[in-house]
A and B are shown apart, each in its own frame.
Chain A
Protein backbone atom coordinates (compact mmCIF):
# COMPACT_ATOMS: atom_id res chain seq x y z
CA UNK A 1 0.00 0.00 0.00
CA UNK A 2 0.95 3.59 -0.48
CA UNK A 3 2.26 4.85 2.82
CA UNK A 4 3.79 8.12 1.73
CA UNK A 5 3.68 11.17 3.92
CA UNK A 6 0.82 12.82 2.12
CA UNK A 7 -1.78 10.12 2.71
CA UNK A 8 -4.32 10.86 5.42
CA UNK A 9 -6.34 7.64 5.60
CA UNK A 10 -5.46 4.16 4.42
CA UNK A 11 -8.05 1.42 4.76
CA UNK A 12 -6.38 -1.84 3.91
CA UNK A 13 -8.74 -4.72 3.12
CA UNK A 14 -10.98 -4.18 6.11
CA UNK A 15 -13.76 -6.57 6.98
CA UNK A 16 -16.16 -6.27 9.86
CA UNK A 17 -17.90 -9.37 11.10
CA UNK A 18 -20.72 -9.36 13.61
CA UNK A 19 -21.91 -12.39 15.49
CA UNK A 20 -25.62 -12.08 15.58
CA UNK A 21 -26.54 -14.05 18.64
CA UNK A 22 -29.72 -15.92 17.97
CA UNK A 23 -30.81 -15.19 21.46
CA UNK A 24 -29.16 -12.35 23.27
CA UNK A 25 -27.71 -13.40 26.57
CA UNK A 26 -27.43 -10.48 28.87
CA UNK A 27 -28.04 -12.37 32.05
CA UNK A 28 -25.23 -14.17 33.76
CA UNK A 29 -27.31 -17.23 34.56
CA UNK A 30 -28.37 -17.77 30.97
CA UNK A 31 -24.83 -17.30 29.73
CA UNK A 32 -23.36 -19.87 32.08
CA UNK A 33 -26.08 -22.43 31.38
CA UNK A 34 -25.76 -22.01 27.64
CA UNK A 35 -21.98 -22.12 27.77
CA UNK A 36 -22.15 -25.39 29.63
CA UNK A 37 -24.74 -26.83 27.30
CA UNK A 38 -22.73 -25.46 24.34
CA UNK A 39 -25.80 -23.73 23.04
CA UNK A 40 -24.19 -20.40 22.25
CA UNK A 41 -24.87 -20.25 18.54
CA UNK A 42 -24.17 -17.29 16.39
CA UNK A 43 -24.99 -16.42 12.83
CA UNK A 44 -22.21 -14.54 11.13
CA UNK A 45 -22.89 -11.32 9.35
CA UNK A 46 -20.41 -9.26 7.42
CA UNK A 47 -21.14 -5.54 7.58
CA UNK A 48 -18.00 -4.84 5.56
CA UNK A 49 -16.14 -7.17 3.26
CA UNK A 50 -12.66 -6.45 2.03
CA UNK A 51 -13.01 -2.68 1.71
CA UNK A 52 -9.88 -0.78 0.69
CA UNK A 53 -9.26 2.82 -0.17
CA UNK A 54 -6.73 5.52 0.45
CA UNK A 55 -7.31 9.22 0.79
CA UNK A 56 -4.68 11.89 0.25
CA UNK A 57 -4.19 14.76 2.64
CA UNK A 58 -6.59 17.54 1.71
CA UNK A 59 -8.66 15.14 -0.36
CA UNK A 60 -12.35 14.46 0.01
CA UNK A 61 -14.15 11.17 -0.26
CA UNK A 62 -17.89 10.61 -0.18
CA UNK A 63 -19.37 7.28 0.78
CA UNK A 64 -22.74 6.42 -0.69
CA UNK A 65 -24.98 3.42 -0.56
CA UNK A 66 -28.40 2.32 0.58
CA UNK A 67 -29.44 1.84 4.20
CA UNK A 68 -27.56 -1.00 5.83
CA UNK A 69 -24.82 -1.11 3.24
CA UNK A 70 -22.12 -0.57 5.85
CA UNK A 71 -21.49 3.16 5.48
CA UNK A 72 -21.69 4.02 9.16
CA UNK A 73 -19.73 0.92 10.16
CA UNK A 74 -16.95 2.03 7.82
CA UNK A 75 -16.92 5.49 9.37
CA UNK A 76 -16.80 4.01 12.85
CA UNK A 77 -13.85 1.82 11.90
CA UNK A 78 -12.00 4.87 10.61
CA UNK A 79 -12.92 6.99 13.63
CA UNK A 80 -11.46 4.25 15.84
CA UNK A 81 -14.77 3.57 17.56
CA UNK A 82 -14.86 0.01 16.22
CA UNK A 83 -12.04 -2.36 15.41
CA UNK A 84 -12.25 -4.13 12.06
CA UNK A 85 -12.24 -7.93 12.30
CA UNK A 86 -9.68 -8.12 9.49
CA UNK A 87 -7.48 -5.53 7.85
CA UNK A 88 -6.01 -2.32 9.15
CA UNK A 89 -6.93 1.33 9.24
CA UNK A 90 -4.18 3.90 9.39
CA UNK A 91 -5.03 7.53 10.02
CA UNK A 92 -2.35 10.21 9.98
CA UNK A 93 -3.18 13.32 11.96
CA UNK A 94 -5.95 14.30 14.32
CA UNK A 95 -9.55 13.35 13.68
CA UNK A 96 -12.75 15.24 14.42
CA UNK A 97 -15.60 12.78 14.14
CA UNK A 98 -18.96 14.36 13.48
CA UNK A 99 -20.77 11.06 13.42
CA UNK A 100 -23.43 12.66 15.51
CA UNK A 101 -23.47 16.35 16.29
CA UNK A 102 -23.20 17.01 19.97
CA UNK A 103 -22.24 13.46 20.89
CA UNK A 104 -20.87 13.70 24.38
CA UNK A 105 -22.79 16.78 25.44
CA UNK A 106 -24.09 16.57 28.94
CA UNK A 107 -27.67 17.88 28.95
CA UNK A 108 -27.34 19.27 32.49
CA UNK A 109 -24.35 21.45 31.61
CA UNK A 110 -24.46 24.84 29.93
CA UNK A 111 -23.23 25.53 26.41
CA UNK A 112 -20.07 27.04 27.83
CA UNK A 113 -19.29 23.99 29.96
CA UNK A 114 -20.10 21.66 27.10
CA UNK A 115 -17.65 23.44 24.80
CA UNK A 116 -14.82 22.51 27.17
CA UNK A 117 -16.16 19.00 27.74
CA UNK A 118 -16.51 18.34 24.02
CA UNK A 119 -13.10 19.83 23.37
CA UNK A 120 -11.61 17.44 25.91
CA UNK A 121 -13.40 14.52 24.28
CA UNK A 122 -11.58 15.46 21.08
CA UNK A 123 -8.31 15.66 23.00
CA UNK A 124 -7.89 19.38 23.64
CA UNK A 125 -7.28 21.17 26.93
CA UNK A 126 -8.86 24.29 28.36
CA UNK A 127 -6.21 26.69 27.07
CA UNK A 128 -6.72 25.44 23.52
CA UNK A 129 -10.49 25.78 23.78
CA UNK A 130 -10.25 29.22 25.41
CA UNK A 131 -8.59 30.60 22.29
CA UNK A 132 -11.42 29.33 20.13
CA UNK A 133 -14.34 29.84 22.48
CA UNK A 134 -15.52 33.17 21.03
CA UNK A 135 -15.42 31.93 17.45
CA UNK A 136 -17.38 28.81 18.40
CA UNK A 137 -20.21 30.75 20.03
CA UNK A 138 -20.12 33.34 17.24
CA UNK A 139 -20.55 30.69 14.60
CA UNK A 140 -23.26 28.87 16.51
CA UNK A 141 -24.98 32.23 17.19
CA UNK A 142 -25.62 31.22 20.77
CA UNK A 143 -24.32 34.17 22.81
CA UNK A 144 -27.77 34.72 24.27
CA UNK A 145 -27.99 31.17 25.59
CA UNK A 146 -24.39 30.52 26.53
CA UNK A 147 -25.23 29.92 30.20
CA UNK A 148 -28.36 27.84 29.61
CA UNK A 149 -28.17 24.06 30.16
CA UNK A 150 -28.25 22.43 26.73
CA UNK A 151 -31.18 20.21 27.73
CA UNK A 152 -33.32 23.30 27.14
CA UNK A 153 -31.94 23.76 23.62
CA UNK A 154 -33.83 22.97 20.47
CA UNK A 155 -32.35 20.23 18.33
CA UNK A 156 -31.19 22.85 15.85
CA UNK A 157 -29.31 24.81 18.50
CA UNK A 158 -27.77 21.59 19.75
CA UNK A 159 -26.55 20.72 16.26
CA UNK A 160 -25.23 24.24 15.68
CA UNK A 161 -23.09 24.08 18.79
CA UNK A 162 -21.80 20.60 17.92
CA UNK A 163 -20.90 21.63 14.39
CA UNK A 164 -19.21 24.82 15.56
CA UNK A 165 -17.00 22.95 18.03
CA UNK A 166 -16.02 20.17 15.64
CA UNK A 167 -15.11 22.52 12.82
CA UNK A 168 -13.47 25.22 14.92
CA UNK A 169 -10.83 22.94 16.40
CA UNK A 170 -9.46 22.50 12.86
CA UNK A 171 -8.64 18.81 12.96
CA UNK A 172 -6.65 17.30 10.10
CA UNK A 173 -9.38 14.84 9.18
CA UNK A 174 -13.09 15.57 9.40
CA UNK A 175 -15.47 12.62 9.44
CA UNK A 176 -19.12 13.48 8.82
CA UNK A 177 -22.22 11.35 8.80
CA UNK A 178 -24.99 13.21 6.99
CA UNK A 179 -24.68 16.24 9.16
CA UNK A 180 -25.59 18.70 6.48
CA UNK A 181 -29.19 17.61 6.69
CA UNK A 182 -29.76 19.20 10.09
CA UNK A 183 -30.75 22.73 11.00
CA UNK A 184 -32.66 25.23 8.92
CA UNK A 185 -31.75 26.26 5.38
CA UNK A 186 -29.72 29.26 6.48
CA UNK A 187 -27.64 27.17 8.80
CA UNK A 188 -27.14 24.46 6.20
CA UNK A 189 -25.78 27.09 3.84
CA UNK A 190 -23.47 28.34 6.55
CA UNK A 191 -22.24 24.82 7.30
CA UNK A 192 -21.58 24.12 3.67
CA UNK A 193 -19.60 27.30 3.35
CA UNK A 194 -17.58 26.40 6.42
CA UNK A 195 -16.86 22.93 4.99
CA UNK A 196 -15.66 24.44 1.74
CA UNK A 197 -13.39 26.80 3.63
CA UNK A 198 -11.93 23.90 5.58
CA UNK A 199 -11.42 21.86 2.44
CA UNK A 200 -9.57 24.66 0.69
CA UNK A 201 -7.53 25.06 3.89
CA UNK A 202 -6.18 21.53 3.54
CA UNK A 203 -8.55 19.54 5.76
CA UNK A 204 -9.23 15.99 4.67
CA UNK A 205 -12.92 15.15 4.48
CA UNK A 206 -14.69 11.84 4.72
CA UNK A 207 -18.38 12.29 4.14
CA UNK A 208 -21.27 9.88 4.27
CA UNK A 209 -24.48 10.83 2.57
CA UNK A 210 -27.75 9.43 1.34
CA UNK A 211 -28.02 12.09 -1.27
CA UNK A 212 -25.63 11.50 -4.21
CA UNK A 213 -26.04 15.09 -5.36
CA UNK A 214 -24.56 16.52 -2.16
CA UNK A 215 -21.72 14.00 -2.31
CA UNK A 216 -21.01 14.98 -5.87
CA UNK A 217 -20.82 18.65 -4.94
CA UNK A 218 -18.77 18.17 -1.79
CA UNK A 219 -16.32 15.43 -2.69
CA UNK A 220 -13.77 14.80 -5.40
CA UNK A 221 -13.92 11.04 -5.01
CA UNK A 222 -16.71 8.67 -4.07
CA UNK A 223 -17.05 5.12 -2.90
CA UNK A 224 -20.26 3.17 -3.40
CA UNK A 225 -20.92 0.46 -0.85
CA UNK A 226 -23.35 -2.34 -1.58
CA UNK A 227 -23.98 -4.99 1.07
CA UNK A 228 -20.62 -4.29 2.67
CA UNK A 229 -18.64 -4.55 -0.57
CA UNK A 230 -17.18 -1.83 -2.73
CA UNK A 231 -19.34 -1.61 -5.83
CA UNK A 232 -17.60 1.33 -7.39
CA UNK A 233 -14.79 3.61 -6.33
CA UNK A 234 -13.29 6.58 -8.11
CA UNK A 235 -14.20 10.00 -9.47
CA UNK A 236 -17.28 11.21 -7.61
CA UNK A 237 -19.05 12.45 -10.75
CA UNK A 238 -18.83 8.99 -12.29
CA UNK A 239 -19.67 6.98 -9.16
CA UNK A 240 -22.59 9.18 -8.15
CA UNK A 241 -23.93 9.02 -11.68
CA UNK A 242 -23.82 5.24 -11.66
CA UNK A 243 -25.47 5.21 -8.22
CA UNK A 244 -28.28 7.48 -9.38
CA UNK A 245 -28.89 5.26 -12.39
CA UNK A 246 -29.04 2.30 -10.04
CA UNK A 247 -31.55 4.09 -7.79
CA UNK A 248 -33.74 4.88 -10.80
CA UNK A 249 -33.55 1.27 -11.86
CA UNK A 250 -34.76 -0.21 -8.59
CA UNK A 251 -37.50 2.29 -7.86
Chain B
Protein backbone atom coordinates (compact mmCIF):
# COMPACT_ATOMS: atom_id res chain seq x y z
CA UNK B 1 0.00 0.00 0.00
CA UNK B 2 1.16 3.48 -0.76
CA UNK B 3 2.47 5.54 2.07
CA UNK B 4 0.55 8.75 2.27
CA UNK B 5 1.37 11.81 4.23
CA UNK B 6 -1.34 14.40 4.06
CA UNK B 7 1.05 17.27 4.18
CA UNK B 8 1.97 16.83 0.56
CA UNK B 9 -1.55 17.39 -0.65
CA UNK B 10 -1.68 19.55 -3.76
CA UNK B 11 1.81 18.65 -4.89
CA UNK B 12 0.55 15.42 -6.31
CA UNK B 13 -2.56 16.82 -7.96
CA UNK B 14 -2.25 14.44 -10.88
CA UNK B 15 -1.81 11.41 -8.63
CA UNK B 16 -4.91 12.37 -6.66
CA UNK B 17 -6.77 12.91 -9.88
CA UNK B 18 -6.07 9.36 -11.02
CA UNK B 19 -6.98 7.72 -7.69
CA UNK B 20 -10.18 9.67 -7.44
CA UNK B 21 -11.31 9.45 -11.04
CA UNK B 22 -14.13 7.06 -10.03
CA UNK B 23 -15.30 9.76 -7.63
CA UNK B 24 -15.63 12.30 -10.44
CA UNK B 25 -17.58 9.68 -12.38
CA UNK B 26 -19.93 9.01 -9.45
CA UNK B 27 -20.41 12.70 -8.64
CA UNK B 28 -21.29 13.47 -12.25
CA UNK B 29 -23.72 10.55 -12.41
CA UNK B 30 -25.28 11.76 -9.18
CA UNK B 31 -25.66 15.32 -10.45
CA UNK B 32 -27.36 14.18 -13.64
CA UNK B 33 -29.65 11.72 -11.88
CA UNK B 34 -30.71 14.21 -9.24
CA UNK B 35 -31.17 16.99 -11.79
CA UNK B 36 -33.74 15.12 -13.83
CA UNK B 37 -35.07 12.61 -11.28
CA UNK B 38 -38.41 14.22 -10.67
CA UNK B 39 -39.10 15.71 -14.09
CA UNK B 40 -41.44 14.07 -16.56
CA UNK B 41 -39.38 14.66 -19.68
CA UNK B 42 -35.98 14.15 -18.02
CA UNK B 43 -33.00 14.44 -20.34
CA UNK B 44 -35.22 15.76 -23.13
CA UNK B 45 -35.17 19.07 -21.29
CA UNK B 46 -31.48 19.49 -22.15
CA UNK B 47 -32.48 19.62 -25.81
CA UNK B 48 -35.87 21.27 -25.48
CA UNK B 49 -34.75 24.12 -23.26
CA UNK B 50 -32.16 25.63 -25.66
CA UNK B 51 -34.61 25.20 -28.56
CA UNK B 52 -37.36 27.12 -26.77
CA UNK B 53 -34.90 29.82 -25.68
CA UNK B 54 -33.62 30.15 -29.22
CA UNK B 55 -37.14 30.45 -30.65
CA UNK B 56 -38.00 33.20 -28.21
CA UNK B 57 -34.80 35.13 -28.80
CA UNK B 58 -34.89 34.65 -32.56
CA UNK B 59 -38.38 36.08 -32.62
CA UNK B 60 -37.47 39.02 -30.39
CA UNK B 61 -34.34 39.95 -32.31
CA UNK B 62 -35.54 39.40 -35.85
CA UNK B 63 -39.06 40.78 -35.54
CA UNK B 64 -38.47 43.58 -33.04
CA UNK B 65 -34.81 44.54 -33.50
CA UNK B 66 -34.46 43.51 -37.17
CA UNK B 67 -31.19 41.63 -36.92
CA UNK B 68 -29.64 40.77 -40.30
CA UNK B 69 -27.15 38.06 -39.37
CA UNK B 70 -27.16 35.11 -41.76
CA UNK B 71 -28.89 31.99 -40.38
CA UNK B 72 -29.71 33.84 -37.21
CA UNK B 73 -31.34 30.86 -35.41
CA UNK B 74 -28.14 28.82 -35.72
CA UNK B 75 -26.00 31.83 -34.75
CA UNK B 76 -28.12 32.35 -31.66
CA UNK B 77 -28.33 28.78 -30.48
CA UNK B 78 -24.56 28.25 -30.69
CA UNK B 79 -23.90 31.42 -28.72
CA UNK B 80 -26.55 30.56 -26.16
CA UNK B 81 -25.53 26.95 -25.67
CA UNK B 82 -21.88 27.80 -25.11
CA UNK B 83 -22.61 30.76 -22.89
CA UNK B 84 -25.00 28.67 -20.82
CA UNK B 85 -22.20 26.10 -20.44
CA UNK B 86 -20.00 28.82 -19.00
CA UNK B 87 -22.54 30.43 -16.68
CA UNK B 88 -24.12 27.18 -15.50
CA UNK B 89 -20.88 25.32 -14.82
CA UNK B 90 -19.22 28.18 -12.97
CA UNK B 91 -22.32 28.88 -10.88
CA UNK B 92 -22.63 25.24 -9.83
CA UNK B 93 -18.94 24.88 -9.08
CA UNK B 94 -18.98 28.12 -7.11
CA UNK B 95 -21.33 26.44 -4.64
CA UNK B 96 -19.76 22.99 -4.84
CA UNK B 97 -17.56 23.28 -1.75
CA UNK B 98 -20.29 24.71 0.45
CA UNK B 99 -22.96 22.27 -0.67
CA UNK B 100 -20.65 19.31 -0.06
CA UNK B 101 -19.57 20.61 3.35
CA UNK B 102 -20.97 17.53 5.07
CA UNK B 103 -18.72 15.34 3.00
CA UNK B 104 -15.42 17.18 3.30
CA UNK B 105 -15.85 17.67 7.02
CA UNK B 106 -15.90 13.94 7.56
CA UNK B 107 -13.86 12.22 4.88
CA UNK B 108 -10.64 13.11 3.16
CA UNK B 109 -11.09 13.79 -0.55
CA UNK B 110 -9.01 16.10 -2.73
CA UNK B 111 -11.20 19.17 -2.65
CA UNK B 112 -10.58 20.34 -6.20
CA UNK B 113 -12.53 17.26 -7.32
CA UNK B 114 -15.75 19.08 -6.35
CA UNK B 115 -15.57 22.18 -8.60
CA UNK B 116 -14.11 20.08 -11.43
CA UNK B 117 -16.85 17.46 -11.28
CA UNK B 118 -19.45 20.25 -11.36
CA UNK B 119 -17.99 21.49 -14.62
CA UNK B 120 -17.93 17.93 -16.00
CA UNK B 121 -21.64 17.49 -15.14
CA UNK B 122 -22.41 20.71 -16.92
CA UNK B 123 -20.33 19.59 -19.91
CA UNK B 124 -22.41 16.42 -20.19
CA UNK B 125 -25.65 18.45 -20.23
CA UNK B 126 -24.10 20.75 -22.81
CA UNK B 127 -23.27 17.76 -25.01
CA UNK B 128 -26.93 16.73 -24.84
CA UNK B 129 -27.87 20.26 -25.90
CA UNK B 130 -25.79 19.86 -29.01
CA UNK B 131 -28.67 17.79 -30.31
CA UNK B 132 -30.61 21.07 -30.38
CA UNK B 133 -27.90 22.65 -32.55
CA UNK B 134 -28.11 19.70 -34.95
CA UNK B 135 -31.90 20.05 -35.09
CA UNK B 136 -31.58 23.74 -35.96
CA UNK B 137 -28.99 22.90 -38.63
CA UNK B 138 -31.37 20.41 -40.20
CA UNK B 139 -34.39 22.70 -40.07
CA UNK B 140 -32.51 25.69 -41.51
CA UNK B 141 -30.84 23.42 -44.11
CA UNK B 142 -27.43 24.72 -43.07
CA UNK B 143 -24.56 23.24 -45.13
CA UNK B 144 -22.35 20.82 -43.22
CA UNK B 145 -18.63 21.59 -43.43
CA UNK B 146 -15.82 19.20 -42.61
CA UNK B 147 -14.54 21.72 -40.07
CA UNK B 148 -17.37 20.61 -37.79
CA UNK B 149 -14.99 17.82 -36.77
CA UNK B 150 -12.80 20.42 -35.04
CA UNK B 151 -15.43 21.78 -32.64
CA UNK B 152 -13.90 19.77 -29.79
CA UNK B 153 -11.10 22.34 -29.70
CA UNK B 154 -13.10 25.43 -28.63
CA UNK B 155 -15.15 23.15 -26.38
CA UNK B 156 -12.06 21.79 -24.64
CA UNK B 157 -10.66 25.31 -24.25
CA UNK B 158 -13.89 26.45 -22.70
CA UNK B 159 -13.94 23.42 -20.40
CA UNK B 160 -10.49 24.30 -19.04
CA UNK B 161 -11.45 27.95 -18.73
CA UNK B 162 -14.60 27.06 -16.79
CA UNK B 163 -12.66 24.75 -14.48
CA UNK B 164 -10.21 27.53 -13.69
CA UNK B 165 -12.95 30.09 -13.03
CA UNK B 166 -14.96 27.52 -11.06
CA UNK B 167 -12.05 26.71 -8.76
CA UNK B 168 -11.35 30.37 -8.01
CA UNK B 169 -15.04 31.09 -7.33
CA UNK B 170 -15.61 28.01 -5.18
CA UNK B 171 -12.58 28.85 -3.05
CA UNK B 172 -13.54 32.49 -2.57
CA UNK B 173 -17.17 31.68 -1.81
CA UNK B 174 -16.14 29.65 1.24
CA UNK B 175 -14.69 32.80 2.77
CA UNK B 176 -17.11 35.35 1.35
CA UNK B 177 -20.66 34.20 0.78
CA UNK B 178 -21.33 37.52 -0.94
CA UNK B 179 -20.01 35.92 -4.10
CA UNK B 180 -23.25 33.99 -4.50
CA UNK B 181 -25.25 37.19 -4.78
CA UNK B 182 -22.72 39.09 -6.82
CA UNK B 183 -22.07 36.43 -9.42
CA UNK B 184 -25.56 36.55 -10.95
CA UNK B 185 -24.91 40.16 -11.93
CA UNK B 186 -21.44 39.29 -13.23
CA UNK B 187 -22.76 36.56 -15.52
CA UNK B 188 -25.43 38.89 -16.86
CA UNK B 189 -22.84 41.60 -17.55
CA UNK B 190 -20.58 39.06 -19.26
CA UNK B 191 -23.49 37.87 -21.35
CA UNK B 192 -23.97 41.37 -22.74
CA UNK B 193 -20.22 41.67 -23.25
CA UNK B 194 -20.26 38.51 -25.37
CA UNK B 195 -21.63 38.61 -28.93
CA UNK B 196 -24.42 36.08 -28.44
CA UNK B 197 -27.36 37.80 -30.08
CA UNK B 198 -25.43 40.57 -31.86
CA UNK B 199 -22.44 40.49 -34.18
CA UNK B 200 -19.05 41.93 -33.28
CA UNK B 201 -18.86 43.54 -36.76
CA UNK B 202 -21.69 45.91 -35.90
CA UNK B 203 -19.65 47.44 -33.08
CA UNK B 204 -17.25 50.40 -33.10
CA UNK B 205 -13.50 49.51 -33.17
CA UNK B 206 -13.11 50.45 -29.48
CA UNK B 207 -15.93 48.14 -28.44
CA UNK B 208 -14.56 45.41 -30.69
CA UNK B 209 -11.23 45.68 -28.92
CA UNK B 210 -12.94 45.34 -25.54
CA UNK B 211 -14.90 42.30 -26.68
CA UNK B 212 -11.73 40.60 -27.88
CA UNK B 213 -10.38 40.75 -24.33
CA UNK B 214 -13.20 38.44 -23.27
CA UNK B 215 -12.03 34.81 -23.64
CA UNK B 216 -15.60 33.54 -24.01
CA UNK B 217 -15.93 35.53 -27.23
CA UNK B 218 -13.06 33.57 -28.76
CA UNK B 219 -14.50 30.15 -27.88
CA UNK B 220 -17.91 31.03 -29.30
CA UNK B 221 -16.42 32.73 -32.33
CA UNK B 222 -14.23 29.75 -33.22
CA UNK B 223 -17.13 27.38 -32.68
CA UNK B 224 -19.32 29.41 -35.03
CA UNK B 225 -16.58 29.68 -37.67
CA UNK B 226 -16.14 25.92 -37.69
CA UNK B 227 -19.84 25.16 -38.00
CA UNK B 228 -21.34 28.06 -39.95
CA UNK B 229 -18.56 29.33 -42.23
CA UNK B 230 -16.60 26.16 -42.71
CA UNK B 231 -13.27 27.97 -42.77
CA UNK B 232 -10.33 27.50 -40.48
CA UNK B 233 -9.50 30.88 -38.91
CA UNK B 234 -5.92 32.10 -38.54
CA UNK B 235 -3.58 31.00 -35.76
CA UNK B 236 -4.45 34.02 -33.56
CA UNK B 237 -7.92 32.70 -32.79
CA UNK B 238 -6.62 29.24 -31.88
CA UNK B 239 -3.90 30.72 -29.76
CA UNK B 240 -6.34 33.05 -27.97
CA UNK B 241 -8.47 30.02 -27.08
CA UNK B 242 -5.83 27.68 -25.76
CA UNK B 243 -3.74 30.38 -24.07
CA UNK B 244 -6.63 31.95 -22.15
CA UNK B 245 -7.84 28.49 -21.12
CA UNK B 246 -4.46 27.22 -19.92
CA UNK B 247 -3.60 30.41 -18.04
CA UNK B 248 -7.00 30.47 -16.30
CA UNK B 249 -6.69 26.80 -15.35
CA UNK B 250 -3.22 27.29 -13.86
CA UNK B 251 -4.27 30.40 -11.92
CA UNK B 252 -7.34 28.50 -10.73
CA UNK B 253 -5.27 25.58 -9.43
CA UNK B 254 -2.85 27.91 -7.67
CA UNK B 255 -5.52 30.05 -6.04
CA UNK B 256 -7.53 27.00 -5.00
CA UNK B 257 -4.50 25.31 -3.48
CA UNK B 258 -3.82 28.35 -1.38
CA UNK B 259 -7.43 28.82 -0.30
CA UNK B 260 -8.26 25.18 0.52
CA UNK B 261 -6.04 25.01 3.61
CA UNK B 262 -8.58 26.69 5.85
CA UNK B 263 -11.82 25.58 4.19
CA UNK B 264 -12.76 23.42 7.11
CA UNK B 265 -12.82 26.32 9.55
CA UNK B 266 -15.24 28.29 7.43
CA UNK B 267 -17.84 25.84 6.13
Question: Within the complex, which residue of B6, B103, B178 is in contact with A121, where a contact is CB–CB below 8 Å?
Answer: B103
Is A41 in the interface zone, CB < 8 Å from B? no
Give chain A residues whose Cβ lies under 8 Å from the Cβ of B21: 125
B3–A117 contact, CB under 8 A?
no
Is A28 in the interface zone, CB < 8 Å from B? yes
A79–B22 contact, CB under 8 A?
no
Q: How far is the CA of A19 from the CA of B109 in the complex (A)?
A: 24
Q: A18-B265, A27-B176, A83-B261 are in contact. List 16 more A-B contacts (CB 8 A).
A: A19-B265, A27-B177, A28-B178, A80-B9, A81-B108, A83-B6, A91-B4, A99-B107, A103-B105, A108-B33, A109-B33, A113-B33, A120-B26, A122-B107, A123-B22, A125-B25
Given A83-B261, A92-B3, A106-B34: A123 in contact with B102 (beta carbons within 8 A):
no
Q: List 22 A-B contacts (CB under 8 A).
A: A19-B265, A26-B175, A27-B178, A28-B176, A31-B176, A79-B107, A81-B105, A82-B264, A83-B7, A90-B5, A93-B1, A97-B106, A104-B103, A104-B106, A106-B34, A113-B33, A120-B26, A121-B26, A121-B107, A121-B109, A124-B22, A125-B21
Q: Which of B22, B33, B175 has the most CB of A within 10 A?
A: B22
CB B211 to nearest CB in A, in angstroms, measures 28
B6–A97 contact, CB under 8 A?
no
A103–B106 contact, CB under 8 A?
yes
Give chain B residues whose Cβ lies under 8 Å from the Cβ of A113: 29-30, 33
Nearest chain-B residue to A29 (Cβ)?
Answer: B178
CB B153 to nearest CB in A, in angstroms, measures 30
Which residues in chain B, 18-45, are within 8 Å of chain A measured between CB atoms?
A: 19-23, 25-27, 29-30, 33-34, 37
Which residues in chain A, 110-127, are within 8 Å of chain B measured between CB atoms?
A: 113, 116-117, 119-126
Is B253 in the interface zone, CB < 8 Å from A? no
B5–A123 contact, CB under 8 A?
no
Q: How far is the CA of A95 from the CA of B104 in the complex (A)?
A: 15
Give chain B residues whose Cβ lies under 8 Å from the Cβ of A31: 175-176
Q: How far is the CA of A92 from the CA of B3 in the complex (A)?
A: 5
Q: How far is the CA of A24 from the CA of B21 in the complex (A)?
A: 36
Total A-B Cβ pairs within 8 A: 104
Nearest chain-B residue to A171 (Cβ)?
Answer: B1
Give chain A residues whose Cβ lies under 8 Å from the Cβ of B106: 79, 81, 97, 99-100, 103-104
Give chain B residues whose Cβ lies under 8 Å from the Cβ of A67: none
Is A88 in the interface zone, CB < 8 Å from B? yes
CB A153 to nearest CB in B, in angstroms, measures 16
Q: Which of B9, B178, B266 has the most CB of A within 10 A?
A: B178
Give chain B residues whose Cβ lies under 8 Å from the Cβ of A216: none
A79–B1 contact, CB under 8 A?
no
Q: How far is the CA of A18 from the CA of B264 in the complex (A)?
A: 11
Give chain A residues whose Cβ lies under 8 Å from the Cβ of B102: 103-104
Is A218 in the interface zone, CB < 8 Å from B? no
Q: How far is the CA of A250 from the CA of B102 in the complex (A)?
A: 35
Give chain B residues whose Cβ lies under 8 Å from the Cβ of A189: none
Q: How far is the CA of A220 from the CA of B105 in the complex (A)?
A: 28
Given A88-B7, A108-B34, A108-B37: A117 in contact with B107 (beta carbons within 8 A):
no
A80–B108 contact, CB under 8 A?
yes
CB A136 to nearest CB in B, in angstroms, measures 15
CB B216 to nearest CB in A, in angstroms, measures 25
CB B134 to nearest CB in A, in angstroms, measures 31
B107–A106 contact, CB under 8 A?
no
Is A74 in the interface zone, CB < 8 Å from B? no
Give chain B residues whose Cβ lies under 8 Å from the Cβ of A99: 106-107
Q: Which of A113, A120, A125 has the most CB of B within 10 A?
A: A120
A109–B34 contact, CB under 8 A?
yes
CB B170 to nearest CB in A, in angstroms, measures 16
Q: How far is the CA of A88 from the CA of B176 in the complex (A)?
A: 30
Is A94 in the interface zone, CB < 8 Å from B? yes
Q: Which of B33, B102, B108 has the most CB of A within 10 A?
A: B108
A81–B22 contact, CB under 8 A?
no
